[in-house]
Amino acid sequence: MPTEGIELSPDGKLLTNDEVIRLATLFVKSGVTKIRLTGGEPTVRKGIDELIGRLNELRNFGLKSIAMTTNGIALHRRLPRFIDNGLTHLNMSLDTLDPFKFELITRRRGHDAVLKALDVALNSSLQSVKLNVVVIQGLNDSEIFDFVEMTKSSPLSVRFIEFMPFTGRASMVDIAEKQPTKRTATASGRIYISPIAYELVTSSYPVGEVAEPAINEAKAKARRKGDALTVAQLAAIMGAKKTSDLIPLCHPLSITNVSVTLTPDVCGGEQGGHRHYILCEATVSTEGKTGVEMEALTAVSVGLLTVWDMLKAVAGREMEIGGIRVTRKAGGRSGDFERETA
C-alpha cells in the first residue's frame, strides 16, 4: 500500500448491486454453488450488507455458500450483520502478530481491529474461518510457528502464501486527475562514526597531529577527498533531484527547493559511553501532483552514503547508518504529518 493511499475507482466504473445480482443469478442457475466477495476490499463497498442478503436469496437456485476475503480492519462491528444476512465463510489477511510489523507492512494502523474481527469470527456461526499469511523472509518468517499454534485451540485454518515480488507487472500510479498543490517533506537519518572521524569533520585545519603515523596517514587521505560534509550536502541535493532515475516507479517532479544540513553531534551510548554521529536532514519542496517524501528520503540516504565514502579511510569499520525516516510532511490529500520525537 503506497504511503499516500490509492485512488478509488469512481462509482461509474463499478458494477451496481443489481448488476452483481444479475450476473450471480446467471452463474448459480448454470451450476455455480459458491460465491466469494473479494476485491480490493469488499467491506468498503457501499451497500455490502444488502448485497450479501440478496445473494443469500439465490440459495433457492442452488447456491450453497457465500464467502468473503478481507483485510479485517473495518470488519469486527459489521461481521454479525454479514452473518445474519447469509455470509458462511471468511478469509482474513494477516501477515504478522506484531503491531509494529503490521504497520510497516500495511502502511496503516489497525492491528487490534483485525484481531478483534478474528475473535468475533471464531466465536460466530461461520462454517469456516481462514487466515492468509504471506511469508516474507527476514520479516515475518519467524512467526510461522506462532500462527500454527493458534490452530490448536481455535477452529481456524492458516494458509501460508509465498511472497511473490513484482515480476514484470509493475506500473506507475496514474496522477493525471490530481491537482497540483504545494507539498513539502522532511526526512532525517544518522551515520555513527568513530571519534577520529568526528574530530576530522569538526576541526577545520590539522593542528599538532600527535596520533600514530597510520592514523595521521588515514586522516590525510580523507582530507585529500575534500570537506566531507560539504561534498555530502551537494550529493544529497543531487540525489533528491535524481530520485525518479533511481527509484523505478517514482514520478519525475519539478522540485522547487532542496535544503540539506549535516550536523555532527554526540549522544550517550548503551553502556554509559558516547557515540559520535552526523545527523542529516533534508527538506524538499515542490508544486506538483504527488508528494516528495521519496525525494527527501533519497537525499538523506545519498548524503549519509557520501559521508561514509568520504570517511571510510579513517572509520570504515566503525560506521553505521540508521534511523532514516520521514519526520514531517505537508500538503496533499492525505494531510499534514509530523512524527513525534522520542
Q: What amino acid positions are annotated as catalytic residues?
A: 309
CB of 223 closer than 8 Å to CB of 200: yes
Q: Are 75 and 83 in contact (CB under 8 A)?
A: no
Q: What CA–CA distance (Å, rounded) separates 292 from 254?
A: 10
Which residue's entry shows cell 515480476?
167
Residues composing the chain? 342
Distance (Å, whole) CA 24 – CA 78: 23
Q: Please choose, from the candidates 202, 185, 172, 198, the residue with its C-alpha nearest in 3D space to the C-alpha of residue 299.
A: 185
Burial of 148 (0-12, 13-18, 19+ CB in 10 A): exposed
d(CA 77, CA 97): 21
Q: Which CB contacts under 8 angstroms, 24+ apart, belong to 240-244? A: 240/282, 240/284, 240/292, 240/295, 240/296, 240/298, 240/299, 240/302, 241/295, 242/298, 243/294, 243/295, 243/298
Query: In a 3-state reduction of DSSP, which class is residue 174?
Result: coil
The residue to which cell 505537508 is assigned: 330
* Residue (of 187, 85, 72) closest to 126 by Cα position: 85
SS3 content of the chain, % helix, strand, coil (to 5): 40, 25, 35
Return d(Cα 255, Cα 239) in angstroms, integer: 12
267 grid coordinates: 549522544
